[in-house]
Chains A and B, each alone.
Chain A
Amino acid sequence: MPDGADAVLDVKGLKTVFRTRGGEVHAVNSVSFHLRPGELLGVVGESGSGKSVTMMSLIGLLPSPPADVRAGEVLLKGVDILKSTPEELRAIRGARIGFVFQDPMTSLNPVFTVGNQIMEPLKRHMGLKGKAAEDRATELLELVGIPDARKRLKSYPHQFSGGMRQRVMIAIALACDPEVLIADEPTTALDVTIQAQILELVHELRRKLGMAIIWITHDLGVIAEIADRVMVMYGGQIVEQAPVRELFGNPHHPYTRALLKTIPKLGDERDERLQIIEGQPPILTAEPSACPFRARCAHAFDRCERENPLRRPIDGQPLGRGHDVACHWNPEGADA
C-alpha cells in the first residue's frame, strides 16, 4: 500500500494454500492491507471467507502441512516477519502481536491455573519471575475487569464463565503490551449482553493502551460500533475496503450490499441473518481466474466470468487509503 510507511503492520500479496487429499485449497489470494498505529480495522465476511486463515498466516500459526504460505510480505514496523526464523516468530507472537480466539471455552488449557497461563508469556518475553510476574498478572486481570484478581490467579478456567474466560484471553493477549492485537470473532461464542460488555472493555483498553487492533467478525453490527476502517473478505480475497462511515453510507460491492441488508433489525430472528444471501461461498481449488462472487451476484456479467477484478479506488484517493473495491460492476450504470 502506498501509505504503508507509517503502518504498524503492512501486508502485501499474501497467499495461503492448503494441501489436502482432494487437492489444493486456495484459502487466501493476494491479500494486501495495512494497519495504522492505534487504528481498529474490522474484517467482515461469511464464515469460510478466509478471515482466520489470513490472520493466522501472518504470524505462522497455521500448521504446515497442510498450510503453505506461498507468497507475500508481512511487514511489522518495516521488517518482513514471513522471512523470520521460527524462533524469531515466537519472539514476536505473544509479545508484539497478541491473539484472541473465538471460543473462550476451549482456548484456555483446562489443567493449568489462569495465573500460570497469564504468566507464561510474561516469563518468556519479559523475563518476569516470581512475585513480579504475579503482580503483573494481577494487574492484567484487573485491567480486563476481573474482580478479586490476585485470588483468581489460582483458579482454573472451568471456574470462570464464558465472558470471564474471554477477558482472561484478552489479558493474556495484552500481557506484553503488544503493538497489534488480533481478535478473531472474540464475541461470537458469547451471548448478547456479555458481547456488549466485551466490546465496552475493548473501547476502554484502546483508550488506555492505544494498540492497533484487527477485529474479525461476521457481524456488521459490531463493526459499526467499534471499527475505524472495514475490510470485507470473500473467497479468500478483499472485495471492498473503506472507512467505516463510508462503507455503511456508500457500499459498492454487491456482496457488501447484501451483507448490509442482513444486519438484523429489531425483532428479527438472529439465526436467519446470513441465509439471506442465496448460495454458498466457493471452495477454491485453484487461484481464481474469475470473480469468486459471480455465482451469487445479481449484477454479474460476462467480464466477471473472464477476469477476477482487481481492487480499484473509487473515491480518487490512493489505493488503500480511502474506499476501494474489487468489482467490475458499476452501480451508476456504465460498466467499469
Chain B
Amino acid sequence: MLTYTIRRLLLAIPTLLFISLVIFLLVDLAPGSPASQIPLTVPPEVRMKILESMGVNEPVHVRYLLWLKQFFVVEPLVLIDSTFGTAFAEGQQRILSWQSRSPVFDIIVERMPQTLTVIGSAYVLGVLIALPIGIYSAYRQYSWFDQLGTFIAMIGFSVPTFFTGLVLILIFAVELQWFPSIYDTSLKVTDWDSFLAQVRQMAMPVMVLALYNAATISRYMRSSMLENLGQDYVRTARAKGMSERVVVLKHVLRNSMIPVITVIALGIPTIFGGAIITEQVFRVNGLGALLIGAIQGSDLPMVQTLTFIFAVLIVLFNLIADILYGILDPRIRYD
C-alpha cells in the first residue's frame, strides 16, 4: 500500500504539470492585461514600467516557469514562514492578483472560511442525510418510503441548484422573511445571538447544496445496498441466525460502503465547482465568488491559480479515493 501510494504520488506530478500548462496557456490566451487596471491618467512610460515590473512582457514560457516556481516553491515557503516564524521566502516574488495587487494566496486564505463553512457543512449534512435514506430505501425497496425517496432524489438532482436557490429565496427570504437573502461575510460568531444569525444565513445555501448532494449520494448508497442485499453471503448471515440489524448494518453495509466512500471522496473537489453557482445566488463571498470576480476582471493570475488549485484537489481526492478503496476492500492489494 505504501509503495502504491508513493508510486501514485510520483505519477501525479507529470499529470499536474501537464494540467498546469494547459490551464496556464488557456487562460493566457484570454484577453485582458494588468494594464486595464492602471488608471488612464498614468503616463504611458510609467505604465510600461509598471507592466515590466510585473513581468508581463516576458515570453510565455518564462512566465509559466515563474508561475510554477511561485506556486510550488515560494507559496509553500511563505506558509512555512508564517507558521514557524522563519524567513525562507523573504524577497521572493509571490503570485500577485492583477486586480488588487496583493498576493493571490492571501486573498484565497481570506475567502476560504466562507466556502468551507457553507459548502463543507452542506456536503457533510448531505452525506449524513443520504446514507440512512439510501440504506433504508434499499432495505425496503419499493415501499412508500423508497418511492418518496426516489421522487425527492429525482427533483434533487434534476433541478439545478440556482433554481432551487432562487425558489428558496423567494419563499423564505422574500415572503416569509425567515432568513436573510444575502450572506453577511463580516458576521463574527461571538455569542448565542450571532451564532443564530450565522445559522440563519447559512440555512438556505446549505439546504440547497445538501439537497443536491444528498440526492446523488443516497442513490449511490441505495443501489450499492441493493446489489449487496442479493448476495449469497447475506443468506449465509441469515442462516447463522444473525439479527436483521447485524445482517444489514454489518454485513451488507460494510460491503456497500466501499463504492460509496469512493464516490464521496471523489465528490469533495467537485463541490467547489457547485459552490460557484450557489455562492453567486446567495452572495456568499467565498472562493466561487472570488473566481467569478477574477474572470470578470480579467485577473489572469487569480484565475490560473484558483483553477489549478481545483485541479490539484481533483487529482488528490482521486488518489485518496483509490487508497480508501484498498483499505476498505481486503481483496485489493496494490503492491
Query: Is the contact region of chain B dominated by helix, strand, or loop, or is it mixed?
Result: helix
Confirm or deny: B318 has a beta carbon within 8 angstroms of a beta carbon on chain A. no
Q: Nearest B residue to A125 by beta-carbon distance?
A: B241
Confirm or deny: A121 has a beta carbon within 8 angstroms of a beta carbon on chain B. yes
Q: Contacts A106-B233, A109-B255 hold; do A124 and B328 have CB atoms under 8 A apart? A: no
- Cβ-neighbour of A101 out of B235, B242, B258 (below 8 A): B235
Q: How far apart are B259's CB and chain A's nearest CB, in angstroms?
A: 12
The 0/1 profile, CB within 8 Å of A marked 1, for residues 152-179 of chain B is 0000000000000000000000000000
| B301-335 interface (Cβ within 8 A of A) | 328-331
- Cβ-neighbour of B328 out of A92, A98, A111, A121 (below 8 A): A111
Confirm or deny: A94 has a beta carbon within 8 angstroms of a beta carbon on chain B. yes
Confirm or deny: B6 has a beta carbon within 8 angstroms of a beta carbon on chain A. no
- Cβ-neighbour of B241 out of A92, A103, A112 (below 8 A): A92
**Total A-B Cβ pairs within 8 A:** 75
Considering the chains assembled together, what is the distance between the CA atoms of A175 and B232 in angstroms?
19
Q: Contacts A90-B242, A106-B231 hold; do A158 and B236 have CB atoms under 8 A apart? A: no
Q: Is the pair B254, A61 in contact by a Cβ cutoff of 8 Å?
A: no
- Cβ-neighbour of B237 out of A91, A95, A106, A109 (below 8 A): A109
Q: Nearest A residue to B258 by beta-carbon distance?
A: A111
Considering the chains assembled together, what is the distance between the CA atoms of A98 and B238 in angstroms?
11
Q: Is the pair B242, A110 in contact by a Cβ cutoff of 8 Å?
A: no
Q: Is the pair A108, B236 in contact by a Cβ cutoff of 8 Å?
A: yes
Confirm or deny: A274 has a beta carbon within 8 angstroms of a beta carbon on chain B. no
Residues in A neighbouring B329, C-beta threshold 8 A: 110-111
Q: Is the pair B233, A158 in contact by a Cβ cutoff of 8 Å?
A: no
Q: Is the pair B233, A107 in contact by a Cβ cutoff of 8 Å?
A: yes
Q: Contacts A101-B235, A107-B232, A111-B328 hold; do A124 and B255 have CB atoms under 8 A apart? A: no
Q: How far apart are A127's CB and chain B's nearest CB, in angstroms?
A: 13
Residues in B neighbouring A99, C-beta threshold 8 A: 236, 239
Residues in A neighbouring B49, C-beta threshold 8 A: none
Q: Is the pair B255, A111 in contact by a Cβ cutoff of 8 Å?
A: yes
| A65-106 interface (Cβ within 8 A of B) | 90-95, 98-99, 101, 103, 106
Confirm or deny: B7 has a beta carbon within 8 angstroms of a beta carbon on chain A. no
Residue among B231, B238, B246 with the most chain A CB within 10 A?
B238
- Cβ-neighbour of B232 out of A90, A103, A125 (below 8 A): A103
- Cβ-neighbour of B239 out of A59, A156, A158 (below 8 A): A59
Residues in A neighbouring B241, C-beta threshold 8 A: 90-95, 121, 124-125
| B215-260 interface (Cβ within 8 A of A) | 231-233, 235-243, 246, 251, 254-255, 258
Confirm or deny: A247 has a beta carbon within 8 angstroms of a beta carbon on chain B. no
Residues in A neighbouring B239, C-beta threshold 8 A: 59, 61, 93-94, 98-99, 101, 173
Q: List 25 A-B contacts (CB under 8 A).
A: A61-B235, A90-B242, A90-B243, A93-B238, A93-B239, A95-B241, A98-B239, A99-B236, A101-B232, A101-B236, A106-B232, A108-B233, A108-B236, A109-B236, A109-B237, A110-B233, A110-B330, A111-B254, A112-B254, A121-B241, A156-B331, A169-B236, A172-B240, A173-B239, A175-B240
Known contacts A94-B240, A121-B242, A124-B241; can you find 6 more A-B pairs with CB under 8 A?
A90-B242, A95-B241, A99-B239, A109-B236, A109-B254, A175-B240
